[in-house]
């Protein structure tokens, strides 16, 4: 049964300005990604301290992926249903970061660490659902640009996280456990900011239709019957598996193969994950103007080819532009896929759609760290993951090329 939500007062203040909301969401997204992209720099330190094998490291990545996918898949319909609580949920995400990071820092054994890491990615995954839905509803006319600006915030975190973590570890007197406690403290401070700036998100549009939870799951099932949406999810899946391989194992490649210092590892890893700070707004805007496919297809082809060049560059200066080039397309293209999916969904189902996109990718991607670890062990080289990721990215480009994507400026996309 569909009921009418109680009308919320329309406060004219800055907190209801869509640019302010987008900016606040982007800041929170940035800190969340700063944590996420500092984590891979810490994994080699954890592995060395606990004597972990490649398979055990893969198990940490796998359970982290499992927690993320479960949150995305199950959370979407609930988030769409609980629109009036979006501000509270966003605040809870930051507090969740604080709790899980403190728990990682205090983990006394590998067995407990595995359990804690299962929950580690849940707050960040949950953040994407109400934030993407709120942005999509406020920017139907500039959805690609707005989603990419939210991604711009994440890329600030992607740049700063590895560098800050590398510098802190490079001091010598701070170990990986201390870094997690520092993260937890920052998350508590950020929770206060999110509560102040975003607690009204979801309550400001009175008279909106509120669907029952059953209707939300029916909407989710209907999305899975849309062949274009499913093709986009499959393309994102292949790209995500390749991208995760790069993100998970590049710190080991930089440390073990190229023998870089902590600071060097942080700088190179930030190039891989954070150059979207330059490209995300531009590519998002271009996708609104030229169409999603015109940006996605060449972007994936270039990213795939660059991935193939990493190993041959070795530790030469050529590695810098190659890593930076990969970083231009790392998260930015995935954000345009998100906008492409949102072009096909109606208001009130945005979180469900994003949850399906992240969740299905995550469920299938649970086994991808083990596949990557098998490839590394079989060829006895961390460098093989770059060829693996490059092939998957090139296949993604071909899939996007043949999908009949909707023009984001079409009346149907505007209605969505």
What pLDDT is attached to residue 415? 47
295 pLDDT above the threshold of 90: yes
DSSP string, 151-204: HHHHHHHHHHHHHHHHHHHHTSS--HHHHHHHHHHHHHHHHHHHHHHHTTTTSS
> 170: which 2 tokens?
């490079």
CA 108 to chain centre: 29
Mean pLDDT of the chain: 83
Q: How confident is the model at residue 359 (pLDDT cuts 50, 70, 90)?
A: confident
219 pLDDT above the threshold of 80: no
3-class SS at 25? Answer: helix
86 pLDDT above the threshold of 60: yes
3-class SS at 381? Answer: coil
115 pLDDT above the threshold of 80: yes
Under a CB-based contact definition with an 8 Å cutoff, are residues 42 and 179 in contact? yes
Domains of the chain: 13-201+211-415 (1.20.1250.20)
pLDDT digits (tens, 9 = 90+) for 250-272: 989 998 999 998 889 888 988 88
Helix axis angle, 319-329 relative to 292-313, nearest 10°? 150
pLDDT digits (tens, 9 = 90+) for 148-176: 787 777 778 878 888 888 888 888 778 88
- Averaged pLDDT, 336-361: 76
Q: Which range has the worst mean pLDDT, 8-12, 77-81, 224-228? A: 8-12
Under a CB-based contact definition with an 8 Å cutoff, are residues 296 and 400 in contact? yes
Which is higher by pLDDT, 56 or 15? Answer: 56
What pLDDT is attached to residue 12? 47
2 pLDDT above the threshold of 60: no
Residue with tokens 């992926």: 65
pLDDT digits (tens, 9 = 90+) for 172-200: 778 889 999 999 999 999 999 999 988 87
- Averaged pLDDT, 359-371: 75
pTM of the model: 0.70
Q: How confident is the model at residue 201 (pLDDT cuts 50, 70, 90)?
A: confident
Under a CB-based contact definition with an 8 Å cutoff, are residues 110 and 56 in contact? yes
Q: What is the spatial distance between Cα 311 and Cα 293, in angstroms, rounded to a whole number?
A: 29
What pLDDT is attached to residue 92? 93
Q: Write the CB contacts of 51 (distance below 8 Å, at least 6 apart in sequence).
A: none
Residues 85, 88, 93, 98: what is their CA dihedral angle, to the nearest 10 degrees?
-160
């Amino acid at each position: 049964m569909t009921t009418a939500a109680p009308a919320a007062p329309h406060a004219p203040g800055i907190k209801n300005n869509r640019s302010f909301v987008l900016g606040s969401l982007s800041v929170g997204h940035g800190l969340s990604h700063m944590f996420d992209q500092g984590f891979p720099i810490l994994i080699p330190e954890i592995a060395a301290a606990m004597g972990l094998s490649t398979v055990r490291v893969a198990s940490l990545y796998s359970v982290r992926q499992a927690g993320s996918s479960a949150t995305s898949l199950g959370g979407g319909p609930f988030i769409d249903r609980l629109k009036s609580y979006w501000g509270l949920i966003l605040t809870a995400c930051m507090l969740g970061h604080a709790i899980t990071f403190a728990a990682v820092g205090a983990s006394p054994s590998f067995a407990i660490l595995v359990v804690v890491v299962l929950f580690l990615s849940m707050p960040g995954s949950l953040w994407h659902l109400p934030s993407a839905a709120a942005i999509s509803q406020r920017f139907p006319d500039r959805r690609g640009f707005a989603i990419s600006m939210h991604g711009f915030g994440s890329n600030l975190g992607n740049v700063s996280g590895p560098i800050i973590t590398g510098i802190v570890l490079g001091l010598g007197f701070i170990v990986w456990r201390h870094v997690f406690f520092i993260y937890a403290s920052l998350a508590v401070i950020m929770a206060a900011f999110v509560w102040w700036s975003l607690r009204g998100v979801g309550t400001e549009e009175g008279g909106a239709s509120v669907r029952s939870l059953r209707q939300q799951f029916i909407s989710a099932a209907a999305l899975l019957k849309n062949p274009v949406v499913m093709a986009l999810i499959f393309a994102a899946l292949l790209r995500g598996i390749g991208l995760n391989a790069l993100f998970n194992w590049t710190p080991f490649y930089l440390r073990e193969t190229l023998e870089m210092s902590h600071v060097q590892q942080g700088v190179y890893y930030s190039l891989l994950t954070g150059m979207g700070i330059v490209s995300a707004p531009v590519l998002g805007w271009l996708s609104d103007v030229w169409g999603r496919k015109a940006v996605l297809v060449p972007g994936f082809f270039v990213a795939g080819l660059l991935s193939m060049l990493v190993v041959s560059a070795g530790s030469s200066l050529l590695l810098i532009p190659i890593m930076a080039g990969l970083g231009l397309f790392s998260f930015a293209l995935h954000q345009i896929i998100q906008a492409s999916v949102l072009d096909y969904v109606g208001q009130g189902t945005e979180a469900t759609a994003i949850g399906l996109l992240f969740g299905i990718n995550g469920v299938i991607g649970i086994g991808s760290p083990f596949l990557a670890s098998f490839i590394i062990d079989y060829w006895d080289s961390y460098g093989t993951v770059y060829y693996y990721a490059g092939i998957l990215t090139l296949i993604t480009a071909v899939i996007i090329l043949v999908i009949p994507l909707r023009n984001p400026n079409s009346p149907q996309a505007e209605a969505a």
